[in-house]
Amino acid sequence: MHKVGHGKVLTLLAWGYWGWGNSTRKFVQAIDAFERKEGFNQPIFVDIRLQRSARAPGFSGINFERLVGTTRYWWMPELGNANIATNKDGIRIKDPFSARTLVTLAKHYQREKRRVIFFCACEEFGYCHRKQVAKLAKKEAARRRWRVKIGLLDCAKSANRAIPSASQFY
Protein backbone atom coordinates (compact mmCIF):
# COMPACT_ATOMS: atom_id res chain seq x y z
CA MET A 1 0.00 0.00 0.00
CA HIS A 2 1.21 3.42 -0.89
CA LYS A 3 0.71 6.25 1.49
CA VAL A 4 -0.99 9.36 0.29
CA GLY A 5 1.78 11.66 -0.75
CA HIS A 6 3.85 8.88 -2.27
CA GLY A 7 1.58 8.17 -5.20
CA LYS A 8 1.85 10.01 -8.46
CA VAL A 9 -0.19 13.13 -8.72
CA LEU A 10 -2.82 13.07 -11.41
CA THR A 11 -2.57 16.28 -13.41
CA LEU A 12 -5.18 17.70 -15.73
CA LEU A 13 -4.61 20.82 -17.77
CA ALA A 14 -7.24 23.50 -18.36
CA TRP A 15 -7.00 25.60 -21.48
CA GLY A 16 -8.86 28.39 -23.26
CA TYR A 17 -8.24 28.46 -27.00
CA TRP A 18 -9.00 32.16 -27.39
CA GLY A 19 -6.62 33.58 -30.01
CA TRP A 20 -5.70 30.20 -31.49
CA GLY A 21 -8.70 29.63 -33.74
CA ASN A 22 -6.66 30.24 -36.88
CA SER A 23 -3.50 28.42 -35.80
CA THR A 24 -4.62 25.11 -34.36
CA ARG A 25 -1.94 23.12 -36.19
CA LYS A 26 0.79 25.31 -34.72
CA PHE A 27 -0.75 25.03 -31.27
CA VAL A 28 -0.95 21.23 -31.37
CA GLN A 29 2.66 20.92 -32.52
CA ALA A 30 3.80 23.22 -29.73
CA ILE A 31 1.78 21.47 -27.04
CA ASP A 32 2.97 18.03 -28.14
CA ALA A 33 6.57 19.23 -27.93
CA PHE A 34 5.87 20.84 -24.56
CA GLU A 35 4.43 17.63 -23.14
CA ARG A 36 7.36 15.62 -24.47
CA LYS A 37 9.72 17.98 -22.64
CA GLU A 38 7.66 17.56 -19.47
CA GLY A 39 8.01 13.79 -19.79
CA PHE A 40 4.59 12.97 -21.22
CA ASN A 41 3.29 11.49 -24.44
CA GLN A 42 0.83 13.30 -26.69
CA PRO A 43 -2.04 14.79 -24.67
CA ILE A 44 -5.74 14.03 -24.99
CA PHE A 45 -8.13 16.88 -25.67
CA VAL A 46 -11.47 17.04 -23.92
CA ASP A 47 -13.75 19.68 -25.40
CA ILE A 48 -16.14 20.89 -22.70
CA ARG A 49 -18.08 23.33 -24.82
CA LEU A 50 -21.84 22.97 -24.85
CA GLN A 51 -21.89 23.77 -28.55
CA ARG A 52 -19.21 23.53 -31.19
CA SER A 53 -20.54 26.25 -33.45
CA ALA A 54 -17.52 28.50 -33.03
CA ARG A 55 -16.46 31.52 -35.00
CA ALA A 56 -12.88 30.33 -34.71
CA PRO A 57 -12.50 28.10 -37.77
CA GLY A 58 -10.09 25.67 -36.13
CA PHE A 59 -12.62 24.89 -33.41
CA SER A 60 -15.81 25.01 -35.41
CA GLY A 61 -17.76 21.77 -35.66
CA ILE A 62 -15.48 18.76 -35.97
CA ASN A 63 -12.47 20.67 -37.29
CA PHE A 64 -10.32 20.27 -34.19
CA GLU A 65 -11.32 16.64 -33.83
CA ARG A 66 -10.31 16.07 -37.43
CA LEU A 67 -6.95 17.77 -36.86
CA VAL A 68 -5.84 15.80 -33.78
CA GLY A 69 -7.63 12.57 -34.71
CA THR A 70 -10.59 10.93 -33.04
CA THR A 71 -8.40 8.92 -30.64
CA ARG A 72 -7.09 12.12 -29.09
CA TYR A 73 -10.34 14.02 -28.87
CA TRP A 74 -13.45 13.74 -26.72
CA TRP A 75 -16.40 16.08 -26.80
CA MET A 76 -18.16 16.33 -23.47
CA PRO A 77 -21.02 18.82 -23.87
CA GLU A 78 -22.36 17.44 -20.56
CA LEU A 79 -19.66 19.56 -18.93
CA GLY A 80 -20.68 22.62 -20.89
CA ASN A 81 -22.36 25.70 -19.49
CA ALA A 82 -26.08 25.01 -19.92
CA ASN A 83 -26.90 28.70 -19.53
CA ILE A 84 -25.41 29.38 -22.95
CA ALA A 85 -28.33 27.60 -24.60
CA THR A 86 -30.88 29.73 -22.73
CA ASN A 87 -28.92 33.00 -22.91
CA LYS A 88 -28.84 33.29 -19.15
CA ASP A 89 -26.03 34.87 -17.19
CA GLY A 90 -23.85 32.84 -14.91
CA ILE A 91 -22.70 29.29 -15.05
CA ARG A 92 -24.63 26.08 -14.68
CA ILE A 93 -22.80 22.91 -15.64
CA LYS A 94 -25.19 20.83 -17.71
CA ASP A 95 -24.39 17.58 -15.89
CA PRO A 96 -21.98 18.03 -12.96
CA PHE A 97 -21.98 14.26 -12.46
CA SER A 98 -19.99 13.93 -15.69
CA ALA A 99 -16.91 15.24 -13.89
CA ARG A 100 -16.51 11.60 -12.88
CA THR A 101 -16.02 10.68 -16.52
CA LEU A 102 -13.42 13.39 -16.94
CA VAL A 103 -11.45 12.19 -13.92
CA THR A 104 -11.74 8.56 -15.02
CA LEU A 105 -10.44 9.48 -18.46
CA ALA A 106 -7.50 11.36 -16.97
CA LYS A 107 -6.65 8.39 -14.77
CA HIS A 108 -6.90 6.02 -17.71
CA TYR A 109 -4.53 8.07 -19.84
CA GLN A 110 -2.13 8.59 -16.95
CA ARG A 111 -1.11 4.95 -17.46
CA GLU A 112 -0.05 5.88 -20.98
CA LYS A 113 1.78 8.92 -19.61
CA ARG A 114 -0.65 11.24 -21.33
CA ARG A 115 -2.37 14.21 -19.77
CA VAL A 116 -5.89 15.37 -20.41
CA ILE A 117 -6.38 18.95 -21.53
CA PHE A 118 -9.95 20.11 -21.04
CA PHE A 119 -10.78 23.22 -22.93
CA CYS A 120 -13.27 25.91 -23.79
CA ALA A 121 -13.02 29.06 -25.88
CA CYS A 122 -12.74 31.68 -23.12
CA GLU A 123 -9.48 33.41 -22.43
CA GLU A 124 -9.85 33.85 -18.68
CA PHE A 125 -10.02 30.74 -16.53
CA GLY A 126 -11.53 32.72 -13.66
CA TYR A 127 -14.61 33.70 -15.67
CA CYS A 128 -15.02 30.50 -17.63
CA HIS A 129 -16.95 27.38 -16.64
CA ARG A 130 -13.59 25.57 -16.72
CA LYS A 131 -13.18 26.78 -13.16
CA GLN A 132 -16.37 25.00 -12.09
CA VAL A 133 -15.33 21.88 -13.96
CA ALA A 134 -11.92 22.02 -12.27
CA LYS A 135 -13.65 22.30 -8.90
CA LEU A 136 -15.88 19.31 -9.66
CA ALA A 137 -12.91 17.25 -10.87
CA LYS A 138 -10.99 17.98 -7.67
CA LYS A 139 -13.99 17.00 -5.59
CA GLU A 140 -14.41 13.77 -7.50
CA ALA A 141 -10.70 12.93 -7.21
CA ALA A 142 -10.81 13.63 -3.47
CA ARG A 143 -13.76 11.28 -3.13
CA ARG A 144 -11.60 8.56 -4.67
CA ARG A 145 -8.64 9.63 -2.55
CA TRP A 146 -6.57 10.50 -5.57
CA ARG A 147 -4.21 13.39 -5.54
CA VAL A 148 -5.07 15.70 -8.38
CA LYS A 149 -3.73 18.97 -9.70
CA ILE A 150 -5.28 21.24 -12.27
CA GLY A 151 -2.64 23.09 -14.26
CA LEU A 152 -3.61 26.26 -16.06
CA LEU A 153 -2.25 25.90 -19.55
CA ASP A 154 -1.27 29.07 -21.26
CA CYS A 155 -0.08 29.41 -24.81
CA ALA A 156 1.65 32.65 -25.66
CA LYS A 157 2.16 33.83 -29.21
CA SER A 158 5.51 35.37 -29.86
CA ALA A 159 6.98 36.16 -33.27
CA ASN A 160 4.46 33.73 -34.76
CA ARG A 161 5.64 31.00 -32.42
CA ALA A 162 3.49 29.14 -29.89
CA ILE A 163 4.97 28.99 -26.41
CA PRO A 164 2.96 26.87 -23.98
CA SER A 165 3.41 26.97 -20.23
CA ALA A 166 1.58 25.59 -17.22
CA SER A 167 3.12 27.28 -14.25
CA GLN A 168 -0.03 28.05 -12.32
CA PHE A 169 -2.17 25.47 -10.59
CA TYR A 170 -5.72 25.75 -9.52
Q: Contact residues for Zn ion (CB under 5 A)?
A: 120, 122, 128
Q: Alpha-carbon distance 14 to 150, whole Å?
A: 7
Determine the Cα–Cα distance for residues 70 and 45; give it in Å rounded to an integer.
10
- DSSP state letter for 93: B
> If residue 140 lies in a helix (H) or strand (E), which one and from where to where?
helix 130-143
Minimum CB separation of residue 7 from Zn ion in Å reads 31
In whole angstroms, the minimum distance from the beta carbon of 48 to Zn ion comes to: 8
Shorter beta-carbon distance to Zn ion: residue 56 or 122:
122
Min separation Cβ 122 and Zn ion, Å: 3
Residue nearer to Zn ion on the CB measure, 72 or 130: 130
Q: Which residues lie across from 15 on neighbouring strands?
A: 119
Q: Among residues 6, 34, 9, which one has the least CA distance to residue 147?
A: 9
The CB-of-49 to Zn ion minimum distance in angstroms stands at 7
C-alpha distances out from residue 85 to 40, 51, 156, Å? 36, 8, 30
**For residues 18 and 73, which CB has a smaller minimum distance to Zn ion in the complex?**
18
Instruction: Using the minimum distance from each CB to Zn ion, give the nearer residue, 82 or 122.
Output: 122
